A and B are shown apart, each in its own frame.
Chain A
């Protein structure tokens, strides 16, 4: 089979990481918006459970939550340091997942060449 559990898991994590990247961009865009609460994405829990249960992971099963950090005087709780760390880490993890996926494709490609 072309697609296996590894690929589905990588796909799910790429999609979760992309969503986290989007939510972080949203948080930074709203860094000065009164009353805005920072968004957080959790796709790891769903992915972990699916893998533990032996199911094929599905992309898009992530939960979007709101940060419960203390707010500023204007009701905003976006912290630029936290967001920058999340953004950097998410970017690197995204590249890591892409590299792993590329490795899978390279394997498939060499299997197709052998005949």
Chain B
């Protein structure tokens, strides 16, 4: 067991939740991104996490990313520069409500890990005072 283990475990939690926040902000930033006809729509990114060494040293790791539909949704906008011959534009299939929910979950998860680090730091700091009394 490494020294100050609790802190590094919470560190993996911070990293995973930050990756999730990154993915959500990327999705929201591209919510109205359109591409030329024939190209794929912007695909929503979903971070895939796994428990690291379950029952062993612990922590969480980002196992990869999953992507949403390349089909997107077709919106009739004949004046748009990216409209196809029939006047349809391919928008990404991203739901803002869903992204905002994920944003909050990622944010709260991040905060929970921060308070976890604080609790561990307090305990370690008193342990460092052992025998000085």
Contact = CB atoms under 8 A, between A and B. Distances in A.
A25 B126 contact: no
A interface, over-half SS: helix
A94 B123 contact: yes
B51 A33 contact: yes
Nearest to B15: A29
Interface stretch (B35-43, B53-61, B71-79, B81-89): B53-61
Contacts of A33: 16, 49-51, 60
A29 B20 CA distance: 13
Nearest to A98: B126
Interface string A20-60: 01111110111111111001000000000000000000000
A35 to B, nearest CB: 8
B64 interface: no
B26 interface: no
Interface residues of A, number: 33
A83 B106 CA distance: 17
Interface string A73-115: 0000000100110011011001100100110011000000000
Contact of A91 (B10, B60, B119): B119
A83 B49 CA distance: 20
A21 B131 CA distance: 22
A102 B9 contact: no
Given A21-B119, A21-B123, A88-B119, A28 B112 contact: yes
Interface of B: 1, 5-7, 9-10, 12-13, 16-17, 20, 49-51, 54-55, 58-60, 105-106, 108-109, 112-113, 115-117, 119-120, 122-123, 126-127, 129-131, 133
12 contacts: A18-B123, A21-B119, A25-B9, A26-B9, A28-B116, A29-B16, A29-B58, A33-B16, A34-B49, A39-B55, A87-B116, A90-B119
Interface of A: 14, 18, 21-26, 28-36, 39, 64, 80, 83-84, 87-88, 90-91, 94-95, 98, 101-102, 105-106
User: Which 6 A-B residue pairings sit nearest by Cβ, starting from the closest?
Assistant: A29-B13, A26-B58, A25-B6, A25-B9, A102-B133, A29-B60
